Structures are given as structure tokens and as C-alpha cells.
Amino acid sequence: MPLFSLDLSLASIDPSAWRVAVPLAIAGASTYFLFAHYYAESHIPGSYGFPVVGETLDFIWNPRQFVEKRLKRYGPTFKTSIFGNKVLFLTTDEGCRQAFRVEPKSGGVHSFETIKQFLQIGPTGKTHTEFRKNFAQFLNKGYLASVSPMFVRIIREEIDEWHRVSAAGRYIRAEDVVKNIPLSIILNMSIKDVSPEKKAEIFDLLADVSAGIRSVVASSLLSPTFAKGIRSHRRLCKIIEAEIHTIMPDLDALKDSNFMAQLISFALQHNLVSGSVSQARYVMGFWFAAFDTTSTTLFQLLYNLSLNPDVLAKIREEALAAGFSYQSDLTTSDLSNLKYTNAVIKETFRLRALGVMHMFRELHEPTELGGYQVPKGFLLTAAIHGNSVTSQESLEDGHRFKPERFLDGSVQATGTDLIWGAPPRVCGGMDIAMLELRATLVLLALKGTIKPKGALGEIYDFPVTHIKGGFDFQIV
Ligand code: HEM
């Protein structure tokens, strides 16, 4: 007979011991997970700043400087707290791509109920794949070639107007006029034969919507839960919907040859949108995606060119060498062959990533990012400002506007392609935007030079890019 026997069966445990063991095990496991969570989080460099407000004010004040300061202090990946959310900033090329890759649960950008409801531009999963197919089907080379005369006409009319105002001795406010080109173009792609009155009405609506959406995005960052319930957002959606219907009651009657009409009929067929309200939102989502982005880029181009008249002269030389005149019908392929002009656009993106480009994605599971284990619940942002800050330090004359750097092969893209996002959601309208930007540069260069009014103030990025004290110019 053994001296003692050890019965390891569960039945042998005294039932009263379970009452102690189970809570202890649960407490142990929770402590372990909690500890692991905080341990992982504490290893991410950065600071959450003050209680509640975190580092929000610093971020809003100047997002670019915000990234620059922390990039130098903490390295390329850092944590912070903005509007009560823990946020991870990823500034390297690969880090930004990782952030863009995170598939949002409920929409393109870290999206809240109201934005998701309003902007039908953020479908997920299978619906997103359908949406992309839809877009690609209509936005092909043939379509772009067919619309390029319309683009060129609109841009020429706008530049002629700038020239007329300048000839009368007055100045043009860049912040105001840069919107005219992208707005006219998207309206012409959406509504056939739009009357000047209707156009003016829609211009006003879009300006309001754009400001409204920016405030929704900003206040939504306060807290996702808060944002979901916030009534003003719902009110904003309702106002916008009502306005869309007074302006565009004839959505269903859009002509078949029209880009937006084709997009809508495809979306209806594939159940991506239903009924006229969501159709209207679909149209608005498309307008919105094409509006602030392109006008901000145009603003930065005007700014860079007014400070660098020699660059505008080189664009002119290239255009003349290609046989263009101010009255030419520029085609898509003519324009994409202009190497120097393309380099000017790249250099603009390198020097200053767009101010409107802070998009937040929500991390739905713990993930390794930038070399750190990041707990779920963090917001991520592809801080492409980081690329531009880094390239300014690492390249020769990195602070100067020098498009030539992209021509001799010495400099690769330096992350400038990230301005368009990264798969799976890389910008659907990139070719349209590039057509607009190239045509504007060429026509501007063939018309004259840009003369700014006095010395220009500091350039700022929030809420959209602007110059302290305003940016007035003439075309001479
Ligand atoms: C300089 C101008 C532009 C820039 C820098 C830009 C940038 C971007 C970026 C970064 C995204 C990805 C958003 C994300 O990751 O959630 C995006 C998406 C999108 N953009 Fe643009 N964009 C521009 C102009 C345009 C224009 C002119 C149009 C339409 C005519 C357009 C249509 C879209 C659409 C439809 C999407 C959603 C794509 C998807 O979810 O798959 N964009 N854009």
C-alpha cells in the first residue's frame, strides 16, 4: 500500500475550494491581460499629454509641426491622445501603408454613424469591391479622353477670369478661387447643362457641406460614442438631404451619357444604393472626395509657383516644346508625357503633404505596427506629413522647392504616392485629379506669371491649407 495517494481528479476537489479558485483564476487572467495590454502600450513612445484634452490643441494648432516635433522626439511611430482617443501616428512609408491597410469596420475613414450615413463613399468588404469595380468601369482611359476638352475649357475660363481681374488692377484671393476649378469639373461630370444659377446654388451648398463635414469629423473625434449620439450631426445630415433634394430633384432623370448617372445606375443595379436619398448621398460623397483635396493641392501649387517663377517658366518651356498653345486642346496622353510638369506636382506633395489628409482608422484587434504591439481600440493615422519632414532633412536642399530632383533619378518617390492613400482604398479619382492639376499648370504657365501681393505669411494646414493673412495674387 502506498504511503500516500494523490487523487488529481476534479471530483476530488472540495466544492468549497472551487468558490475560491474560480474567482482567483478569473482575477489572475484579467490582471494578466490588463498588464499585458498596459505593458504593450507603455512601450510605445509618446505622451498622452494632459488629462482629457490630451495633445489635441497642439495637433489642431498645426498638425504638421505636431508631427515634426514628435517625430524628432520619439522616432517614427508614436502615441498621443487627441479628443479623448488614443491615437498611434505612423510616419514612415511602410507605417503609413500599414495604417491605410487596416480595413475599417464601418466605412472608409474612422467613421461614425453620421458620416457613414451621409458619405456613401466608405463601403466595406464586398460592397467596397463592387464600388471599386463600379468606379473603374466608368473611369477608364476612354472616358478621361472624352472629358479632357471639358476640363480644359473650364480651367481656361477660370484663368481668363483671373487674368481679367488682374488686368483691372485688382488681386485674386487664392483661398476663394481654387475651389472653382474642381467644383465646376465635378458638377459638369454630374449634371448635364447645368445653369449658372443652379451652379451658384450648388457651389454654396458644397462650401457649407464641406465646412459642416469638417466640423463633424473634428467633433466626432471627441469620442465615437459621443459622436454617435450627437444630435447636431443628424440634423446636419437632414439639412443636407433636404437641400440636395431642392437642388437636384431630378436625380433620376440624369442623362445616360453622364458619368454620375452611369455610376448611380450601376450602384442601383448592384444594390449599393437604394432610393433617391441614398443616391443623392452617393453623388455628394463623390463630390466631397473630389473637392477639398484637389482645391488644396491647387492652392499649394499656386503658392509654390508664386514663390518660384523660374519653375513656372520651365513648365511653359516644356509645354511650348510639346507644341502646345494656350488655345490647344490638351489631351490626357499629351499631358501625362510632360515630365517636368509631373515633377512639379510630386515636389508639391513632397514638400507639404496635404493638410486635409489626416484620416483615422480604428484598430479592431491587437496588431504589431511600427515594431510595437498596439492594443485594440487605438486610432491609427497615416501621418504622411512625416514623409515630407523626413525628406526635407535627408535630401540635399530638401527644404527647397526643386522639381528637378525627380528628373535625374537620384530621388525616388519619397512617399509622395501616399498622398493618394494605399491599397485597398487608393484614391479612385487619381487620374481625374492629375488631369485637372496638369492642365491647370500648363494653362497657367502659358498665360503668364503669378505675382503674389507682398510677402506671403506663414502657411498653415488646419482646417485646410491657408496662408496667415491670406494669399492674394495677380496673373501678369
Ligand atoms: C489631389 C487630389 C486628391 C487626393 C490627394 C485624394 C486622396 C485620396 C485618398 C488619400 C483616398 C483614400 C482614403 C482612405 O484611405 O480612406 C481617396 C479616396 C477616394 N478618392 Fe480621392 N483624392 C483626390 C482627388 C479625388 C477626385 C478628383 C476624386 C473623384 C473625381 C476622388 C475620388 C475618390 C474616391 C471615390 C475615393 C474612395 C476610394 C475607395 O474607398 O476605394 N478623389 N482619395
Sign of the alpha-carbon dihedral angle for 73, 74, 78, 82: negative
Query: Separation of 420 CA from ligand 1 center, angstroms?
Result: 6
Residue 27, domain member (yes or no)? no
**Which residues on adjacent β-strands are paired with residue 351?**
none
Structural domain containing residue 268? 45-475
In ligand 1, the atom with minimum distance to the C-alpha of 122 is 40
Predicted model pTM = 0.85
Residue 202, domain member (yes or no)? yes
Residue 164, domain member (yes or no)? yes
pLDDT for 6: 47
Residue 35, domain member (yes or no)? no
E strands present in 85-237? 85-90, 172-173
Best of 427, 432, 441, 465 to mutate for ligand 1, by most ligand atoms within 8 A of CB? 427
CB 298 near ligand 1, within 6 Å: no
Q: What is the DSSP string of 328-350?
A: ----HHHHHT-HHHHHHHHHHHH
CB 285 near ligand 1, within 6 Å: no
Maximum separation of any 2 CA atoms in the chain, in Å: 115
Query: Separation of 291 CA from ligand 1 center, angstroms?
Result: 10
Rounded to whole angstroms, what are the CA distances from 393 to 15, 352, 398, 461?
68, 13, 6, 20
pLDDT for 257: 53
Residue 431: Cβ-neighbour burial (10 angstroms; 0-12, 13-18, 19+): middle
Residue 119, domain member (yes or no)? yes
- How confident is the prediction along the chain (476 residues), in pLDDT tens digits per residue? 444 444 555 556 666 666 766 666 665 555 555 555 555 688 899 999 988 777 988 887 788 889 999 999 999 999 999 877 899 999 998 899 988 888 765 544 444 444 555 555 567 778 788 888 888 888 888 888 888 999 999 999 999 999 999 999 999 999 989 988 998 898 888 776 667 777 777 777 776 666 666 665 555 555 444 444 445 556 666 666 676 666 665 655 555 557 777 777 777 787 777 766 677 777 777 777 888 889 999 999 999 999 999 999 999 999 999 999 999 888 888 898 999 999 999 999 999 887 655 677 888 889 999 889 999 888 888 888 888 888 888 888 999 999 999 998 777 766 788 999 888 888 889 999 999 999 999 999 999 999 999 999 888 876 668 898 999 999 99
Residue 245, domain member (yes or no)? yes
Residue 40, domain member (yes or no)? no
pLDDT for 77: 96
Query: Separation of 448 CA from ligand 1 center, angstroms?
Result: 31
Q: Name the residue with the closest Cα to ligand 1, atom 3.
A: 293
pLDDT for 60: 76
- Residues 30-64 as b/e (b if ≥16 CB within 10 A, e otherwise) read eeeeeeeeeeebeebebeebeeeebbbebbeebbb
CB 109 near ligand 1, within 6 Å: yes
pLDDT for 245: 67
CATH number of the domain residue 102 falls in: 1.10.630.10
> How many folded domains does the chain comprise?
1
CB 64 near ligand 1, within 6 Å: no
In ligand 1, the atom with minimum distance to the C-alpha of 357 is 10
pLDDT for 104: 62
Query: Separation of 298 CA from ligand 1 center, angstroms?
Result: 15
Residue 51, domain member (yes or no)? yes
